[in-house]
């Protein structure tokens, strides 16, 4: 059953997937969208706009995956964004 927050997150993800699919730069750029209410995010990866759905608290368990992207720059970027979000709480 999808209700409330789950429905909002489903809409958020479907919107991001549609946006990433239509992005003419999807072969060249990373696209990050943050869902601030529950710290989930989606990350579109070049070259084909594959979407990774994750949350900032648990992304550290998958640090090895993110470190493979752009020589670790994407992981550092995600950590920086997470720190900013934590400071804003």
Largest pairwise CA distance in the chain: 40
pLDDT digits (tens, 9 = 90+) for 4-60: 566 677 777 788 788 777 777 767 788 899 986 668 899 988 887 788 999 998 999
* pTM of the full structure: 0.76
Helix (H) or strand (E) holding 8: helix 4-22
* Tokens found for residue 5: 């927050």
Q: Are 13 and 4 in contact (CB under 8 A)?
A: no
| Beta-carbon contacts of residue 2 (< 8 Å; ≥ 6 apart) | 10
CA separation for the pair 54, 87 (Å, rounded): 20
């Amino acid at each position: 059953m999808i209700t409330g927050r789950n429905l909002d997150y489903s809409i958020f993800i479907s919107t991001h997937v549609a946006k990433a699919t239509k992005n003419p730069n999807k072969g060249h750029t990373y696209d990050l969208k943050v869902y601030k209410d529950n710290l989930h995010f989606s990350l579109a990866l070049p070259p084909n706009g594959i979407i990774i759905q994750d949350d900032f608290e648990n992304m550290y368990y998958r640090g090895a995956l993110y470190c493979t992207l752009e020589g670790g720059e994407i992981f550092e970027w995600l950590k920086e964004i997470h720190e900013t979000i934590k400071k804003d709480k």
